[in-house]
Structure 1
């Protein structure tokens, strides 16, 4: 690229970190601002990374660290609530045959790997900082930060998550909508013999599952209809998750016995978001959860965000002209891949909520995974 460029990335999660790393690799000056003072104050307990996410992490140069930190596996088990294994299926390697189908990780470990890569890239990082104002013209964007400074950029990438303040600031009215389901998650020791994800359908929850996240750890979760979050005191989180999980057999009794600390239990609703028409206004463009979010029924949220960063960086680094058509082309390239994943993720949840017993969940999952095997 012959003309020096400067980009602001708003948000230091998966999408923002990946964008910063890839743009810096091409010599673009990058500032990254993150609202949290603690960049790795990561909510949640674990993350499931399927092959198409691993493909991007390899492109970022962090695959070796991810492989060492996480737990790779290639199958999924379907069980009865009592733990009886009903079916074991091979997972499709959506990242290609040279990568595992799935890696489970502790979320803070993945975040730290990406943080280290951002810092090594030479990006300027400002923590505890938000964007308070954006003014645009034909040539660039002037940004006011909460620390009182003002800066000029050629492009702003808004990767500030589901509740994106930037999305509202640039006049995109879309907001996340609850799907009617919620999830309890907890990190726990990994019982002997647990070497893949197992999913139990039925019992007091729609789904009870777990995913290995390392040599001695896993994260466990139960999915249920959403409740009024304000009616559940955080101090009761462990007791409530334990109450639900007690109904499940197999590895669950060993897991349930460790659910004692309410501060380790996370409760969130499932949300849906898909910004239509375009993901940009002028020279400010949305990426990751700021543009789309889906329930974790297909475990594709982080993967889609990482893909966004990869595709956007590819398109920004092929030439000097960061024009309206390029940003619209980015949206059009991504929406054809993101929409079916969001719709399938929501549909699976709706079938569960509606008690549809003859729903073709395996078929819908297989069709979606085959789509994701193609390069984004």
Structure 2
């Protein structure tokens, strides 16, 4: 007997689909409501740490994920300027344990396709163009309104609907994402043979320049700069700006600039930070993933933390007989300290860059978080 028999999920991102997969596999009736008209297959690439890969294995999708991406060990730091010399080779902590590589990159679109297919195969129903617009809670459950009409009464509504979560607003949580002062350009480009792992360049005209391999022939490149109003510019101007800002960086950046000059699209977003204090639930409604916490991708733990939210929540819902205070207490005890540590460390790494703090122990902070993530959530 599970603590829930019928669950609604708002959103169709990583945390939402992971929740849908695990609950549907356990025989729970799952309805996923996504406001967008179709599955999001945009974006560039994504970096995934070992603790994320451990969750993918539990979901039953690790083989597909591994085949669609590019696994690697270690992190190289390069200097800007001619030749882009490697100045440090940092080892990775296998945060997923010895059965998984330390890290991997993959196209965001492939990750979305794999998780969506797994959710449908498990028995979850996914409806697009379906925005959760209201809730009404009672002792019997939570009535969920989609596009202003009742979609039925559920035992639980999971708000995994992203940074600008409607569910978070509906349950009266006022904590929202705040800009950190950094913005990032991203582009999906071809992979030069010499790129076999993530590489970062510190210094030069932007805070950080880097790239991560996502496949045999692909990688995503990024530039982190002071946050600016870059929104609303044309696709052509976006690629041109990213190309121009990268000219101080040699090595594989020469290939990246060739792709940008040939029309590789670039997109721009601001880094945000927030952590909703406990509780993340209001009776039979709970938020997880980016709805509950966000941070700069400075240690590449955003997706992993959303996956861990989903895994811990579903583990408890499947193992318990009742959706009671004890379940929520354990959920928050296992998730709040861990997610908070990741958010605080990620923000601190970015702030050191903004402040130009050359004495900061960035490697020590990164490895400390990695060792903490090696302990299962």
Other structure's SS at 2:261 match: coil
Match of 2:74 in 1: 75
**Post-superposition offset of 1:40:** 2.9
Question: In structure 1, what is the equivalent of residue 55 of structure 2?
Answer: 56
Could you tell me how far 1:243 is from its partner in structure 2?
Answer: 0.4
Q: Secondary structure at the match of 1:270?
A: strand
Distance 1:194 1:311, change over 3 A: same
**Partner of residue 132, structure 1:** 133
Question: Do the aligned partners of residues 68 and 236 (structure 1) sit closer, same or farther apart at CA in structure 2, a change above 3 Å counting?
Answer: same
Structure 1 residues not aligned, in runs of 5+: none
TM-score (norm 2): 0.97
Cα 1:173/1:3, change in 2 over 3 Å: closer
Instruction: Indicate conservation of the 8 Å contact 1:235/1:263, yes or no.
Output: no
Counterpart check, 1:259 vs 2:273 = no
Shift of 1:233: 4.4
The alignment of Structure 1 onto Structure 2 pairs a total of residues equal to 375
Q: Does 1:195 align with 2:196?
A: yes
Q: What is aligned with 1:12?
A: 12
Q: 3-state SS of the aligned residue for 1:213?
A: strand
Match of 1:215 in 2: 216
In the other structure, the counterpart of 2:246 is 245
Comparing 82-91 with 294-303, greater Cα deviation is found at: 82-91
**Aligned twin of 1:288:** 289
Task: Report which stretch shifted further, 184-193 or 148-157.
Answer: 148-157
Q: CA deviation at 1:230?
A: 3.9
CA distance in 2, matches of 1:262, 1:207: 23
**Could you tell me whether the CA contact under 8 Å between 2:69 and 2:214 is conserved in 1?**
yes
- What residue number does 1:34 align with? 34
Aligned to 2:149: 148
Range 33-42 or range 58-67, more displaced: 33-42
Q: Which runs of 5+ in 2 are unaligned?
A: none
Cα separation, partners in 2 of 1:216 and 1:325, compared to 1, 3 Å: same
The within-5 A match list for 1:1-376 is: 1=1, 5-42=5-42, 44-82=43-81, 83-146=84-147, 148-230=149-231, 232-260=233-261, 264-376=265-377
Distance 1:4 1:323 in 2: 11
Contact 1:282-1:324 within 8 A present in 2 as well: no
- Contact kept in structure 2, 1:238 and 1:261, CA below 8 Å: no
**Whole-angstrom CA distance in 2 between matches of 1:362 and 1:73:** 18
Contact 1:234–1:263 (8 Å) recurs in 2: no
* Matched residue SS, 1:194: coil
Instruction: Give the 3-state SS of the residue equivalent to 1:351 in structure 2.
Output: helix
CA contact (8 A) 2:143 2:150 kept: no
**CA shift for structure 1 position 264:** 2.0
- C-alpha deviations, 1:102-148, integer Å up to 9, x for none? 11000000110001001101111111101111000123101111173
- Which stretch of structure 1 is more off in the superposition, 326-335 or 163-172? 326-335
Structure 1 distance, partners of 2:375, 2:4, is: 33
Distance in 2 (alpha carbons) for counterparts of 1:3 and 1:86:
53
Larger mean Cα displacement after TM superposition, 344-353 or 33-42:
33-42
Aligned to 1:205, what secondary structure does the other structure show?
Answer: coil
Partners of 1:237 and 1:262 within 8 A in 2: no
Provide closer, same or farther for how the CA distance between residues 255 and 262 of structure 1 changes in structure 2, counting only shifts above 3 A: closer
Q: Distance in 2 between matches of 1:18 and 1:293?
A: 18
Give the secondary-structure state (helix, strand or coil) at the position aligned to 1:112.
helix
Shift of 1:234: 4.3
Post-superposition shift, 1:98? 1.3
Residues 338-363 of structure 1, C-alpha deviation per residue, up to 9 Å, x if partnerless? Answer: 11110000000000000111000011
SS at match of 1:297: helix
What is the rounded CA distance, in whole Å, between the counterparts of 1:147 and 1:173 in structure 2? Answer: 22
Q: Is the 8 A contact 1:129 1:147 kept in 2?
A: no
Aligned-residue offset at 1:261: 6.5
What root-mean-square deviation, in Å, do the aligned CA atoms of Structure 1 and Structure 2 show? Answer: 1.4
Give me the whole-angstrom Cα distance separating, in 1, the residues matched to 2:106 and 2:78: 22
Whole-angstrom distance in 1 between the partners of 2:85 and 2:369:
27
* Pairwise CA distance, 1:2: 6.3
| TM-score normalised to structure 1 length | 0.97
